[in-house]
Structure 1
Amino acid sequence: MAIQRKHTMFHSTIVDAGPDAVWAVVRDAMQVVKIVSGPAAKDVHWAEGGSVEQVPSRYDFTLVFNDGLVQQEVAGRNEVDRSQTYRAIAPTMGVENYAATIRVRPITNDPNRSYFEWARELEIADDADPEVVGAIIAMMEKQTDSVRDHFASPEK
């Protein structure tokens, strides 16, 4: 995969849970990091007095594969539209800028399922290690499926 200086990603999936149930979980950045990263992230915590109810709110975690510190911030949230935007507050591992929005939408004819989408924009540093950036992007490409799988019924 060729990594471009400006890299845009969009992933979506159908989740086997109603939009309110999904939103109750994914509006909490700590839960999202744990769901999508599992053992690949450690020391996941709110920083500088941040919390799930405070916007903006900073949180940090460390990627296990290279001990890279990730510092991000919930930058905006819309409870009515069930959307949340977050961004990197410091460059990390070759990613100079990062912004993302997650959104949970209802499925009109199926109130027990929802549509989950994740849009991201990354700016890659000219001197970034292609293997590290490739590993980060590969991890991100699987994260929407992790959200879907988190809500899947055990019998499916």
Structure 2
Amino acid sequence: MPIQRKHTMYHSTVLEADPDTVWATVRDAMQILDIVSPGDLDIHRDVTWVDGASVDTVPARYDFKLTLNGRLVQQEIAARDEINKTQSYRAVAPTSGVASYEATIRVFPITNEPDRSFFDWSRTLEIAEDADLKVVEAIIDVMEQQTDAVRDHFAKTAK
């Protein structure tokens, strides 16, 4: 499928962990980045909170470098709802052909299965006119697999 200038993605999965356990992990940008870029598949490096930010502050800026091309990515937790287990974040500066980026993760209980959760991740990317489409395609390909990485992480910890 060709990349559109405004590219939207939606992924969801059932996780083998209760909502509180999942939320404690995925609300922390450092932990979720570690989960979605493990070891030799690492697409992020040098992940750090910036300007006094932390997992418990909102807004909270964090930076990392893409292993794909060494470019700095600057993102910020823009909103968090602890009760409804929802968090939105966005890019604060364009990079690697992505002019803007917004995403939301949500964790829902499964009523009849309290030890499991429903997880969804929606994203919107606006692609720059002069983007190197091979780099953008590589970034999108990685994003396409990240919800599965979250699922697999909780499947391992459930055993």
Name the TM tier (shorter chain).
over 0.9
Q: Shift in Å at residue 83 of structure 1? A: 0.4
Q: CA deviation at 1:40?
A: 2.0
Change (3 A) 1:61 1:53: same
Q: Distance in 2 between matches of 1:154 and 1:50?
A: 28
Q: State the Cα deviation string for residues 54-109 of structure 1 (Å, max 9, x = none).
A: 00000011111211211000000000110000000000100001000000000011
**Residues 155 and 81 (structure 1), Cα distance of their counterparts in 2 relative to 1, 3 Å cut:** closer
Q: Which residue of 2 aligns with 1:100?
A: 103
1:119 maps onto 2:122 in alignment = yes
Q: Shift of residue 41 of structure 1? A: 1.1
Structure 1 residues 130-141: aligned runs within 5 Å: 130-141=133-144
DSSP 3-state at the match of 1:93: coil
Match of 1:3 in 2: 3
User: Secondary structure, in 3 states, of the residue corresponding to 1:152?
Assistant: helix
Report what 2:35 is aligned to.
Answer: 35
| Partner SS, residue 92 of structure 1 | coil
CA distance in 1, matches of 2:139, 2:63: 16
Deviates more, 1:12-21 or 1:34-43: 34-43
Q: Contact 2:17–2:158 at 8 Å: present in 1 too? A: no
1:67-106 to structure 2, matched below 5 A, reads 67-106=70-109
Structure 2 residue runs without a partner (length 5+): none
Quick one: which of 29, 43, 65 aligns to 1:62? 65
What one-letter code is carried by the residue in structure 1 that aligns with 2:142?
M
* 2:54 maps to amino acid: S
Query: Between the two proteins, what is the percent identity of the paired residues?
Result: 62
Task: Report the Cα distance in structure 2 between the residues aligned to 1:74 and 1:123, rounded to whole angstroms.
Answer: 18
Task: Please give the root-mean-square deviation of Cα atoms over the aligned residues, in Å.
Answer: 1.2
Aligned residue pair count: 156
TM-score by length of 2: 0.95
Query: What amino acid maps onto 1:21 in structure 2?
Result: T
Gaps of 5+ in 1: none
TM-score normalised per structure 1: 0.97
The runs of at least 4 aligned residues of structure 1 exceeding 3 Å deviation read 153-156
C-alpha offsets along residues 28-61 of structure 1, whole Å, 9 cap, x if unaligned?
Answer: 0111111112222110110111100000000011
Q: 1:145: which partner in 2?
A: 148
For 1:135 and 1:21, the matched residues in 2 are separated by 31
